[in-house]
Amino acid sequence: MRFLSEINSPADLRQLKVEDLQEVADEVRQFIIDTCSRVGGHTGASLGAVELAVAMHYVFDTPRDRLVWDVGHQAYAHKILTGRRDQLHTIKQYEGLSGFLRRDESEYDTFGAGHASTSVSAALGMAVARDKKDQDFHVCALIGDSSLAGGMAMEAINQAGHLKSRLIVLLNDNEMSIAPAVGALSRYLNRIKEAQSYQWWKEEIGDALESVPGIGERLRRAAKSVKDAIAAAVLPGALVNELGFKYIGYVDGHNVPMLVAALEEAKKVTDGPVIVHALTTKGKGFPNPEKNYYAYHATGPFDPKTGLPYKSTKVSPPTYTEVFGRTMCELMESDKRIVALTAAMPDGTGVDKVLEKFPERSFDVGIAEQHAITFCAGMACEGLKPVAAIYSTFLQRAFDQVIHDVCLQDLDVTFAMDRAGIVGADGPTHHGLLDIAYLRGYPNIVLMAPKDEAEMRDMMLTAIEHPGPAAIRYPRGNGMGVDISQPPRRMEIGKAEVLGEGTEVAILAYGALVEPALGAAEKLAASGVFPTVVNARFVKPLDSELITELADSHRLIVTAEDAYLAGGFGSAVMELLEHKGLADKVTVSRMGVDDEIVPHGDPKILLAKYGLNADGIYDRVIETLNALDQRAKGPTRIKAVK
Ligand SMILES: Cc1ncc(C[n+]2csc(CCOP(=O)(O)OP(=O)(O)O)c2C)c(N)n1
């Protein structure tokens, strides 16, 4: 590494000559490949943005100038250039670097990210604050073409044009989301690329860009004439015209000198927002001859020479996501009213299989969770049965649409919330810990969580056949390996399942916590405690008859969930007991995630940290029983086995 080993901050980068920057980018790219081949990560997304990161840190006086990255998954080069090179191998691991951006990780991470389409709003806020405080620095938002189509980004563009704030938006256009980009905006960007007049501009001006000085003026003139030409010819009412943005582009997003020249021009625009349109290739330089940018977006460890993933010999049960896709296909076969939705996560949710099999009855709406839900509501008004497969964390975006557009009108929409619970490496922006709390407060929604993949199939049928709103939450990763060959069966809504009858203690587990509860029960038996174990299945409606009986016949109820305790399943049980006047009759001990932000890392480590495994439940039962005995002034009866 001729340059990179000496670059410990962007200030070091800025000492170099423009001619050297392409080599710096090559070294950064190689560093990402070497590191991600060992530890995995958002490899392809980051490889596509290497030159953008180099050019931005060269042109802007970071951290004084503010760079705001959208999502942050593509920012590995930014991390490398901002003093985190030697920690990159810890990325996404417990106590290592975050896979996204965090203000508390670096002063160069001006805005925390993980969810898409936030950068332009945040950057506009910074630009407005700068102007109000009479300060003078640049603000540049970097956003991908798919994130630009997200509702928030569009709203921000709208306001930026209106305010005429000095703001730079660098568009990283690779025609990809995680899957190929969808939507009219994507088509619109393609039209810019295809515009004849623009090709002329590119040829005419492209070469000149590399020869300093004097580029700036020509580029600006050219950009203006191109803007006018495109606006007149192909872009009625679009971004560069009606919305008040200046347009510079398009630029080869892998040519650092060209990017530097374009960003230098953008810096000179003082009377309003400007968009620099860079064309990039996702996965640029990934060492796999098979061009599969979709697969490169994020990778596990791979062979750095061939780019091929290291194959695991372990045979694992199908993931919940796979079971969802397969079951949707079965159910859609027999009920023509069912339609499937994803918001830019076809493979992540299993809707990719449905899109293949039923292209007319399934939709990828892009990064547009809010629209997705109201779109579902509209279809439900006309008698269809939409199933929206959206990660628990991303459905947070559409909270009001779930309530106002679906639940309030009692519409028949099913929410399939993948990645519920602690997701692991993606961390705090992606944990699905809130869905119980944010959905449980509404009167008419049915909420459920399966103990395994067979029960998930039954729940899918149950939710879809239920004529109102219903939601299923299920975890990231593999199922339990149970038999799923039987057709799904309809379940009785609000009925829990008693898995083992015992005395004194009842463990009520929700969804993914059922298995650890059974593990804890086995361990407790060895200590002479024989708990009743219940698979709660539903948090709304709760099985109030069973829980009332348990409160009557047991001394302690332990609830377990992989969610925030506040407003969660355990809270629902306590509310029920209070409502029934049984709050004093039985002690309730709730297990879940307490009032703190859960970091990123291996789910096993994180679940253990919060006691959400068999050992943790075992410990809680023993501790609470002993505390109850002590309170009753009896001797400590049970010694914990370690
Ligand atoms: C609100 C939200 N929905 C979905 C995602 C999942 N997601 C992460 S990156 C990504 C694709 C982003 O595409 P683009 O903005 O074009 O950037 P690229 O990865 O192509 O560089 C998606 C859908 C997210 N992070 N946030």
- The predicted pLDDT at position 313 comes to 82
pLDDT above 50 (res 18): yes
- The predicted pLDDT at position 118 comes to 98
pTM, to two decimals: 0.93
Distance, CA of 127 to CA of 140 (rounded, Å): 9
* 601-608 contacts, C-beta under 8 A, 24 or more apart: 601/92, 601/93, 601/94, 601/95, 601/96, 601/424, 601/425, 601/427, 602/93, 602/94, 602/424, 602/425, 603/422, 603/423, 603/424, 603/476, 603/477, 605/94, 606/94, 606/422, 606/424, 607/422, 607/562
Query: Ligand 1 center to residue 356 CA distance, Å?
Result: 21
Q: Where are the beta strands (DSSP E) in 30-78?
A: 66-69
Distance, CA of 344 to CA of 179 (rounded, Å): 7
Residue 262 phi/psi, 5° resolution? -65, -40
b/e sequence 500-532, b meaning 16+ C-beta within 10 Å: eebeebbbbbbbbbbbbbbebbebbeebebebb
Query: Ligand 1 center to residue 72 CA distance, Å?
Result: 9
Q: Which protein residue has the closest C-alpha to ligand 1 atom 23?
A: 344
Decide which of 634 and 195 is more confident.
634
Distance, CA of 249 to CA of 171 (rounded, Å): 10
CA proximity to 511, closest of 567, 571, 561, 458: 561
Report the mean per-residue pLDDT for the chain: 92
Does the beta carbon of 115 lie inside 6 Å of ligand 1?
yes
Length of the chain: 642
Query: Ligand 1 center to residue 348 CA distance, Å?
Result: 12
Distance, CA of 234 to CA of 191 (rounded, Å): 7
Does the beta carbon of 177 lie inside 6 Å of ligand 1?
yes
Measured in Å, how far apart are the chain's first and last C-alpha atoms? 50
Residue 617 phi/psi, 5° resolution? -70, -40
Query: Ligand 1 center to residue 606 CA distance, Å?
Result: 25
Quickly state the pLDDT bin for 234 (edges 50, 70, 90): very low
- The predicted pLDDT at position 242 comes to 72
For residue 561 the two structure tokens come to: 């969930």
Strand partners, 319: 478
pLDDT above 80 (res 635): no
The residue type of 89 is H
Mean pLDDT of 87-106: 98
Q: Of 177, 341, 351, which is best to mutate to test ligand 1, by the most ligand atoms within 8 angstroms of its C-beta? A: 177
Does the beta carbon of 174 lie inside 6 Å of ligand 1?
yes
- Burial, 43: exposed, middle or buried (Cβ in 10 Å; 0-12, 13-18, 19+)? buried
Q: Of 43, 118, 146, 189, which is best to mutate to test ligand 1, by the most ligand atoms within 8 angstroms of its C-beta? A: 146
CA-based Rg of the chain, rounded to a whole angstrom? 27
Question: Is 7:28 a contact under the CB 8 Å cutoff?
Answer: no
Strand partners, 556: 505, 587
Does the beta carbon of 475 lie inside 6 Å of ligand 1?
no
- Measure Cα distances from 495 to 535, 542, 546 in Å: 10, 7, 8
Quickly state the pLDDT bin for 217 (edges 50, 70, 90): low
For residue 640 the two structure tokens come to: 């914990």
What is the tens place of the pLDDT at every residue in 600-631? 999 999 999 999 999 999 999 999 999 999 98
Quickly state the pLDDT bin for 221 (edges 50, 70, 90): low
Mean pLDDT of 17-41: 97
Question: Is 247:170 a contact under the CB 8 Å cutoff?
Answer: no
β-strand pairing of 139-144 with 167-173: parallel
Question: Is 41:73 a contact under the CB 8 Å cutoff?
Answer: no
Query: Ligand 1 center to residue 322 CA distance, Å?
Result: 21
Quickly state the pLDDT bin for 633 (edges 50, 70, 90): confident
Q: Of 147, 286, 390, 396, which is best to mutate to test ligand 1, by the most ligand atoms within 8 angstroms of its C-beta? A: 147
Distance, CA of 262 to CA of 252 (rounded, Å): 10
Q: Which residues are catalytic?
A: 282, 369, 397
- Measure Cα distances from 72 to 77, 557, 602 in Å: 11, 42, 20
Does the beta carbon of 145 lie inside 6 Å of ligand 1?
yes
The DSSP string of 400-442 is HIIIIIIITTT---EEEE-S-B---TTGGGT-B-SHHHHHHTS
Does the beta carbon of 344 lie inside 6 Å of ligand 1?
yes
- Burial, 443: exposed, middle or buried (Cβ in 10 Å; 0-12, 13-18, 19+)? exposed
β-strand pairing of 66-69 with 139-144: parallel
b/e sequence 274-313, b meaning 16+ C-beta within 10 Å: bbbbbbbbbbbbbebeeeebbbbbbbeebeeeebeeeeee
Question: Is 521:528 a contact under the CB 8 Å cutoff?
Answer: no
- The predicted pLDDT at position 199 comes to 39
- The predicted pLDDT at position 312 comes to 80
For residue 407 the two structure tokens come to: 């639940």
